[in-house]
């Protein structure tokens, strides 16, 4: 009797489960939804979406389901619309930007969208008040720096990099990232010596926010395990708090130096001296995060195309020779500068083609919809993640014939669909799909273009980039073309190559101009300090108190922030929405 009851109960439960799963299956695979791979209840397509080289699987699905320029999929309940055609991206992310410019939550960061007021990561913020004010401010700082030609920082760092490559060519991947980091640390805090830590810190955040980072970004429910059995959350707590403390320390150091009058211009000084008086930025926590994030965001983004430039030039010696010839003709004996940009179309074409051929944000950055919508007759629910798939945009054979080949001539010769005149202005990387869309479009396009012109130009001026030679076989060892990590911003896996100075004379010249740049920089810094110290006794030159919050105020602010962190921590450990 009891057995029969149990049996009946089992049949009823299994029947109910089948009905439930069928209902969900039908909902998930509703024929009115955009086309896409069959969705499995609860899982979506998590089981066959590889974490490594995810963009290749997205491309495979695009070839199958993307005839309309988009398709949908889902993962553990999160809905995705993958855009595979630039026109659709234009429609949804630019024309309908008003409600398609939010960001999805990143599970393995605390409050990544700043929904609860953390105010820490501008590019990841939801479309909220913190994002609006931080974006505006970042835009004005970057534009001002661009107009001031970055006060020569890029030239200085490119010269240092060339000298380092002569001195230690095998360490090129580290010195390349360090160059990009030094540019950002100087712009932000006037301190290139911060670069090493800043790069490590940027790496930590990049890993944490990428689907190929911690497991909890994919198996999101794991994030909600209690703290004592949650290694992912504990690790993130440590990473987050250290990064925050470092950012705050940078701000406090600048403020302390300003109090002594010993701080040269940089974004942080500009903020404390001028912006802080009239902005809605809420205080030191928000300001230090905004400035810290600005420094971070310009490291791997620029280092990615620069690394691929090395790979590309080694593989395409005739294009490398064409770039060198152009630089020799247009710049004579000098390293190229930003002013030379209009005269260097071949250099620009090779840079742009490198970014097209080897895009360093191949999946694009997701937006999230804030309202239900209908597009081309298909229903797109609120909360859908829209992924503009850059890898596919940049391999569209109609726009880019022979898309898998490196063909800079597509930007230089009439007859190619992408050719644009005049060549003094085009090609330019500004506006490339790789920089995103609409209200969230990248703020660093000019900075990237200028830094790539200066750095790639300096390389072509100083060296011929060549493959490493195998000491046993005597054969060239070419850098692999398809080996990279799979983080949101990718870079090639470590490889070997040679930096051959173009002549002994050029080598000596490169070392001499670095020596000169270094001693001139040192002299300028000393002169500044000397003047300040002399002027310190002159009362009217001192910055008025009202413009300069005291260090005590700053420390109060820091303590307040620490209290906030402690309370966030507590709430997190109870597993609230904040985590």
Q: Which span sits near ligand HEM by CB under 6 A: 56-64, 188-196, 297-305, 537-545?
A: 297-305
User: Which is closer to ligand HEM, CB of 400 or CB of 514?
Assistant: 400
Q: Is 350 annotated as a binding residue?
A: no
Of the residues 434, 484, 486, 579, which one makes contact with ligand HEM according to CB under 6 A: 434
Of the residues 44, 204, 298, 336, which one makes contact with ligand HEM according to CB under 6 A: 298
d(CA 516, CA 156): 10
Of the residues 78, 314, 447, 568, which one makes contact with ligand HEM according to CB under 6 A: 447
Q: Answer yes or no: are the C-beta atoms of 72 and 34 closer than 8 Å.
A: yes
Of residues 339 through 378, those in contact with ligand HEM by CB under 6 A are: 360-361, 364-365, 367
Q: Answer yes or no: are the C-beta atoms of 305 and 360 closer than 8 Å.
A: yes
For residues 16 to 55, the per-residue mask of contacts with ligand HEM, x marking binding by CB under 6 A and - elsewhere, is: ----------------------------------------
- State the sign of the Cα–Cα–Cα–Cα dihedral 126, 110, 372, 40: positive
Q: Which residue has the tokens 């049949």?
A: 11
Of residues 303 through 342, those in contact with ligand HEM by CB under 6 A are: 305
176 binds ligand HEM (CB under 6 A): no
d(CA 131, CA 97): 15
d(CA 347, CA 323): 5
435 binds ligand HEM (CB under 6 A): yes
- In order, the DSSP letters of 405-424 are S--GGGGTSTTSTT--S-TT
How would you classify the pairing of strands 385-388 and 78-83?
parallel
User: Which is closer to ligand HEM, CB of 202 or CB of 447?
Assistant: 447
For residues 64 to 103, the per-residue mask of contacts with ligand HEM, x marking binding by CB under 6 A and - elsewhere, is: ----------------------------------------
Closest CA to 440 of 119, 202, 135, 205: 135
Q: Which residue has the tokens 């990718």?
A: 490
d(CA 579, CA 573): 8
| CA angle, residues 407, 411, 415, in degrees to nearest 5 | 95
Reduced to 3 states, what is the DSSP secondary structure of residue 434? Answer: helix
Q: How many CA atoms lie within 13 A of 479 on its CB side?
A: 25
448 binds ligand HEM (CB under 6 A): yes
User: Which is closer to ligand HEM, CB of 199 or CB of 434?
Assistant: 434
Q: Which span sits near ligand HEM by CB under 6 A: 370-378, 443-451, 544-552, 553-561?
A: 443-451
Q: How far is the CB of 47 from ligand HEM (least distance, A)?
A: 28
**Is there a cis peptide before residue 422, judged by omega within 30 degrees of 0?**
yes
User: Which is closer to ligand HEM, CB of 214 or CB of 298?
Assistant: 298
In 260-316, which residue ranges form alpha helices assigned H by DSSP? 267-270, 276-278, 284-297, 300-315
486 binds ligand HEM (CB under 6 A): no
453 binds ligand HEM (CB under 6 A): no
d(CA 68, CA 65): 8
Tokens of 48: 């066959």
Q: How far is the CB of 540 from ligand HEM (least distance, A)?
A: 37
Of the residues 72, 96, 135, 352, which one makes contact with ligand HEM according to CB under 6 A: 135
408 binds ligand HEM (CB under 6 A): no
Of the residues 440, 491, 558, 561, which one makes contact with ligand HEM according to CB under 6 A: 440
Of the residues 253, 418, 428, 441, which one makes contact with ligand HEM according to CB under 6 A: 441
Residues that contact ligand HEM, how many (by CB under 6 A): 26
302 binds ligand HEM (CB under 6 A): yes
Query: How many CB atoms neighbour CB 84 within 10 A?
Result: 25
Query: Which helix or strand (DSSP H or E) is residue 435 part of?
Result: none
Contacts to ligand HEM by CB under 6 A: 122-123, 135, 138, 142, 297-298, 301-302, 305, 360-361, 364-365, 367, 434-437, 440-444, 447-448
- For the annotated binding site for heme, the residues are 442
């Amino acid at each position: 009797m009891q057995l029969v009851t149990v049996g009946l109960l089992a049949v009823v439960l299994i029947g109910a489960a089948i009905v439930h799963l069928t209902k969900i299956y039908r909902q998930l695979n509703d024929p009115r939804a955009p086309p896409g791979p069959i969705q499995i209840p609860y899982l979506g397509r998590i089981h066959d979406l590889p974490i490594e080289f995810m963009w290749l699987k997205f491309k495979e699905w695009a070839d199958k389901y993307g005839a309309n320029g988009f398709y949908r999929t889902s993962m553990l309940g999160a809905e995705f619309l993958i855009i595979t055609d630039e026109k659709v991206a234009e429609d949804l992310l630019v024309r309908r930007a008003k409600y398609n410019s939010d960001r999805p939550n990143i599970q393995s960061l605390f409050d990544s969208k700043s929904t609860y007021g953390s105010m820490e990561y501008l590019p990841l913020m939801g479309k909220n008040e913190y994002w609006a004010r931080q974006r505006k401010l970042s835009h004005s700082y970057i534009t001002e720096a661009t107009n001031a030609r970055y006060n020569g920082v890029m030239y200085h760092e490119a010269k240092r990099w060339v000298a380092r490559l002569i001195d230690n060519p095998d360490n090129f991947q580290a010195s390349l990232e360090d160059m990009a980091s030094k540019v950002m640390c100087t712009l932000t805090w006037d301190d290139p010596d911060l670069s090493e830590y800043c790069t490590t810190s940027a790496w930590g955040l990049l890993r944490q926010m990428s689907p190929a980072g911690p497991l909890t970004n994919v198996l999101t429910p794991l994030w909600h395990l209690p703290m004592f059995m949650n290694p992912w959350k504990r690790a993130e707590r440590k990473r987050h708090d250290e990064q925050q403390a470092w950012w705050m320390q940078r701000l406090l150091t600048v403020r302390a130096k300003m109090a002594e009058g010993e701080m040269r211009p940089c974004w942080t000084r500009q903020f404390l001296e001028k912006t802080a008086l009239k902005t809605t930025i809420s205080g030191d926590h928000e300001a230090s995060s905004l400035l810290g994030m600005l420094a971070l965001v310009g490291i791997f983004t620029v280092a990615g195309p620069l690394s691929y430039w090395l790979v590309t030039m080694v593989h395409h010696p005739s294009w490398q020779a064409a770039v060198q010839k152009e630089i020799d003709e247009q710049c004579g004996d000098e390293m190229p500068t930003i002013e030379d940009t209009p005269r260097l179309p071949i250099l620009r074409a090779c840079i742009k083609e490198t970014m097209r051929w080897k895009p360093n944000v191949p999946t694009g950055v997701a937006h999230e919809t804030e309202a239900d919508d209908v597009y081309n007759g298909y229903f797109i629910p609120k909360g859908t993640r829209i992924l503009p798939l850059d890898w596919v945009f940049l391999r569209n054979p109609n726009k880019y014939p022979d898309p898998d080949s490196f063909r800079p001539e597509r930007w230089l010769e009439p007859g190619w669909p992408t050719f644009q005149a005049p060549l003094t202005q085009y090609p330019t990387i500004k506006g490339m799909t790789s920089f995103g869309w609409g209200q969230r479009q990248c703020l660093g396009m000019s900075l990237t273009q200028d830094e790539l012109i200066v750095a790639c130009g300096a390389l072509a001026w100083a060296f011929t980039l060549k493959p490493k030679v195998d000491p046993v076989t005597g054969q060239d060892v070419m850098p692999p073309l398809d080996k990279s990590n799979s983080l949101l911003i990718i870079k090639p896996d470590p490889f070997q190559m040679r930096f051959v100075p173009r002549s002994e004379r050029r080598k000596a010249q490169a070392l001499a101009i670095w020596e000169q740049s270094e001693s001139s920089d040192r002299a300028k810094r000393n002169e500044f300090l000397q003047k300040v110290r002399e002027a310190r006794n002159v009362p009217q030159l001192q910055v008025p108190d009202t413009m300069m919050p005291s260090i005590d105020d700053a420390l109060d602010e820091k303590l307040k922030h620490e209290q906030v962190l402690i309370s966030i921590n507590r709430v997190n450990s109870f597993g609230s929405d904040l985590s």
